[in-house]
Structure formats: structure tokens, C-alpha cells
Structure 1
């Protein structure tokens, strides 16, 4: 019975959704290494392409975009010093960070590091230093998601290191559209390189943007965030201008380290010519496994 249900679901969902084709672009010609993706015209709201855009997936450090919005919505002073603590290290399960415990940095710079270089300790400190602490912060993250109409999104921490932070490509497009309107998020997330000057003790650390398209200024990007966990794969969201058109691009669960950048290039080529290129066989196999697991889970759930 499960095999029959799975066959039916595969028939309905195995191909990318048919976006409105008014310029000769065939969605079937766009091959991506990302398991889930969506491309939306930021001005008109037209969905140009989507692929399993409603698949709920872990989103890793894409979480930090919501973290930034909650911090800025609270209008907390960006020049106020944030002290990094052992509680912050515990919150990220003692994940590696170059930041020294008990050192300080202004909140605005902490926010910049969380966005541009995906510094997990920075995101943890932002949550802990919110009125009411991390529980109140996470509650506000989820309330903000509901306010934005992100119906399939849930947060449990401010860094994204938990695989229980989940969303969909469709929901994340809403997040990117909203986040890009914040001047600080637009600026901080597209900073190519930055030197942070810490105090107590005084020391300096150099940071680079985790998105090579931003770091090397290859694209006209208005807002960006990368993410990675084993269970989430490689993820990338952007608001970017391609050939004079502002686009919201979400790519989730890519197999290889550079796959999101490769997918961005394939999307750009497909928009211009209708030719989306090809992806490596290893990426195709990875997608088949992920999609089969997802569809089997849906089929089982429908029987229950």
C-alpha cells in the first residue's frame, strides 16, 4: 500500500513545478543541485521557478536572518557592548569560535558577524542579551514568522545549529523579502570583509563573507545569507539583481560546498537563455535519495 501511495505522490511531485512561462523558459530545462528552490520576481511577486518549494527542511544558519530581524525590531542600542559568555558557548554546544569568552563588541558589530560570516557565538549572544533572554527571543522569532505568513517555519534557537529550525523555500522567500527592507541587514549581510575590534581584552579578528558571490563582488546582491548543517545540506538565500530585475532566490539542501553558487549561475543562465545547464551525477543521486525519503514519509503519513 505504501508503494502504491509513493508512486502516486512521485507522479504528482517528482518534477519541478511549472512556473508561468511567458518568455520561453521551460522549468524542466533548469537543473539544480539544490533539493528545494524558488525564484521569485521581487517586484511583481511572480514565481519564475520552484522546485519542492513546500518541502519542510532544516535551514541551518539561514536562521540568523530572523535573528537579525528580531534584534532590530526590538530597537536595542546597536552601540551597546555585548559580552560573550560561557552560556553563549554552551548554547552552541561549544562549537568552534575564535571569539574569546568575556570579551566585548558592540551589538551592531555582533549582528554584522552573525550575518556576513555566520558567527554562531555572535548569534547566541544576541539571543541571550534580548529582554527576557533566549526563551523570549525564540518566542519572538516564531511570532515574527507567523506575522510574515511563514506557515511551515519553526525556530528553537538563534544560531541555526539545531536541526529543529525548519522552514520551506516558499516561506524563506517571504523572509528574504522582509529582511532586505532592513537597512542594517542589507548592509551587514553584504559586507565582503570586516575587521572586528574587541575589548576586554583588546584584540582584532578578520572576517570574510561566507557567500563568494558577495565576497568577490561577482553579483549585485542586496541581501544574502548562507547556511550549512549535515542534515540541512548547503543553503543560500539572496535578494539580487539579474539583468535589471530584482529577484528573491532560495536554494536549500545542496550536496557540494560550492553547489549553491553553481545553482545561482545556472538560474542566471536559464533566465537569460532558457538553458539551465547540468549538475554532477553525485548531486543528482543525493537529490534522489533526499526526495525519495521525503515522499516516502509523506506517503506513510497519509496512510496514518
Structure 2
């Protein structure tokens, strides 16, 4: 309107009048000229709409927060489970601590020195030494000093420990060790049904039969040795009982040369006497500690190994060894060995676990060595 007034005034001042139509044309041109500015103003009003966007965007975080809460819950659950595992692990701390006492020892001789969670401090008194066999005895080889004992006078089946007596009686008869003997059906174990690779009809020297009986606890070989004794098997068993009596084994009785019968019984103390006596036989020392040998059986060569894994251990100095097992006797082990620079006899009877007798032997050895290293002798039980 101001522009229109100006134009009218200018026209009047210029000496001429402008028509009404011309004025309308000017207004129309003005409207078109102002239209872009209006649109521009409309466009400029868009930001308020854009400003409404953030509230919508702000609704997003609660959703994300819910997810984060779930993640935290999972993390908390995981932490709880880890804590539970740590609590469970801590409940085993005591046996694990005991096990770690001998970790370095176990790394050096893993096969020979089995470590058990029940191991105890080797400086403790013998009465507290963790020997798990039912009967046990550790004595000086000369029979004078008892270093440790547990149920040492209890009469129990002795299984194949019997074969040590079998070997002494065979050698006492001064036989021809190169003479051939034959495995027959009489030597087959029909009592326990134990297996043997010595087939009926196998022929071998008496010496080989003695080696297999002592090293691998071969039952048919031991039975054949007794059966080929002068006077036969009955005479042989009688000689075994006479020999036991002569050694002062008052609570010992034998009924066969193998130990398959549970009627072969003795005590840990009686067996210590037997082991000390058998150690005086060079062939028994040699054969019982041989780690392995090859025997020819009906044209085939068969490998045999010692039933006592400790004879292969560089940490043991074993002069005589014999293992035994039947269900009634449990796992058994007798040894003459030099431990802490002392010759001793170790007897372990009625062991329940597969490696219990080996673990007991290693515990006794560590106890004696630790006492010697500390400058004192193990206190007699």
C-alpha cells in the first residue's frame, strides 16, 4: 500500500494520473515478488518441527537401557557363577595344597612317583604317616630296627608274594637250571581262572620258568616248578612250610606254589623275614628286579615285563621285589631297597586301590629321605 501511494504521488507530481488497472498490475507484481519471501518464511518455520524430533529420539535410550540392563543381568549372573566356581574350588584347597608339596618330584618322575592328595608332611612322626595299605612294615634289613609298622602281625592272604618262597625252595634243591620242564594241564589255573600266555605243551628251561615266576608273576611257570620238584607237588609244598618254620615265620602257611589260593597266609612281620632271607640268593635278586625279558614259546618270542613299575625308576635302588594280587588279599608288595642310604625291607599288604601300594612305597621313601636330610633318623614306631 505504501508503494501504491508513492506511485500515485509520483504520478501526480509528475503531472499525470495512473489508471486503476495499472495500480492493480502493480499490486499483482508485488504479490508475486513477495511470494518467494513467504515461502522462505514457511521454510524457516521448519526448525520447530525439527525441534520436535529429539523427544522422539529421546524415547530410544530407554529401549537401549533395557537391553543394557539385560546385559548387566547376564554379566551379574556370570559373575555369580564364577564366584560359585571359586567357592567350590576353595573347598578343595586343603587336598590341593597337600598335592603341591611334591609337584616338582612328580614332574621329574611322573610314572614312578605317583602323588596322592593324601600325602602328608614327611617330617611328621611315623604314627601319623599316611600309609593306606591294610598292613605295612618297614624294618632295617638286618631285622634289628623297626622304622614303621601297621597291623604287622595280622594274618592275611599273601597272593603271589608266595613265589618268593617258591624260588627259595627250588634253588635249595640245587636243580639243573638248564633242564627243560613242560607246561601241562595240571598247571592251568582252574581255581581263579587266571590267564597265561604259556600254552599247554610249552617247553622251557627251569631257569626261564623261575625268571617268569619272579619277574612277571607267571602262575603256570611257578606251578610247573613245584610239580617238577623231587617228590612232586606235595613234597614241594611241605618243603615250603619247613622253610618258613626255619626262618621263624610262625604265623605263615602255604598250600600251593603260586599264591592263587587264599589259604596261603602270613603276616607283614613274617614276610619281612622271608624277604631278608631271599635277598641272600643272587638269582632271586637278579630275576625279581629284571625290568623285562623275551621268552620263546612254541617258536614265538613273547615280551614279559616286571609287575613292579618301581624297578624302572631311577629314584629307587631296589635289590628284591615281588608283587601279588587276588581278591581276598588285595594288592601286595614286598621289596628290599636302599633308602636314605639304609638297606631296608618294605612290606605292604591288602592295598585296595590300583596304585595304593606304589603310593605307599613312595611316601615311605620320601619320609625316610626327608628325615635323613634333616640330620635325624626316622623314629621307630
Q: TM-score, normalised by structure 2?
A: 0.63
Structure number with larger C-alpha Rg? 2
2:358 paired with 1:242 = no
What is aligned with 1:106? 205
Q: Measure the CA separation in 1 of the matches of 2:209 and 2:191.
A: 15
* Inter-partner Cα distance in structure 2 for 1:178 and 1:140: 16
Partner in structure 2 of residue 223 of structure 1 = 320
Aligned ranges for residues 128-139 of structure 1 at < 5 Å?
128-139=227-238
SS of aligned partner of 2:134: strand
User: Separation in 1 of the partners of 2:355 and 2:369?
Assistant: 22
Count matched residues: 250
1:29 aligns with 2:128: yes
1:273 and 2:370 are equivalent in the alignment: yes
From the two aligned structures, give the one with the greater helix fraction: 2
State how far apart, in whole Å, the 2-side matches of 1:186 and 1:272 are.
23
Partners of 1:83 and 1:100 lie apart in 2 by: 10
State the match for 1:210 in structure 2: 307
Cα distance in 2 for partners of 1:136, 1:45 equals: 33
CA distance in 1, matches of 2:308, 2:284: 15
Which ranges in structure 1 are unaligned for 5 or more consecutive residues?
A: 1-23, 275-304
Change (3 A) 1:145 1:91: farther
Runs (4 or more) in structure 1 with deviation over 2 Å come to 90-95, 215-218
- In the other structure, the counterpart of 2:221 is 122
| Higher RCO (CA 8 Å, separation ≥ 6 residues) | 1
Aligned to 1:193: 292
Deviations along 1:218-270, whole A, 9 cap, x unmatched?
A: 41100000001111011000000112110100000011111111001110122
SS at match of 2:154: coil
More strand by share: 1
Query: C-alpha displacement at 1:26, in angstroms?
Result: 1.6
- Per the alignment, residue 378 of structure 2 pairs with none
**RMSD (CA atoms):** 1.6
**Secondary structure, in 3 states, of the residue corresponding to 1:154?**
coil
The 8 Å contact of residues 64 and 114 in structure 1, kept in 2 or not, is answered as yes
State the shift of 1:273 in Å. Answer: 2.9
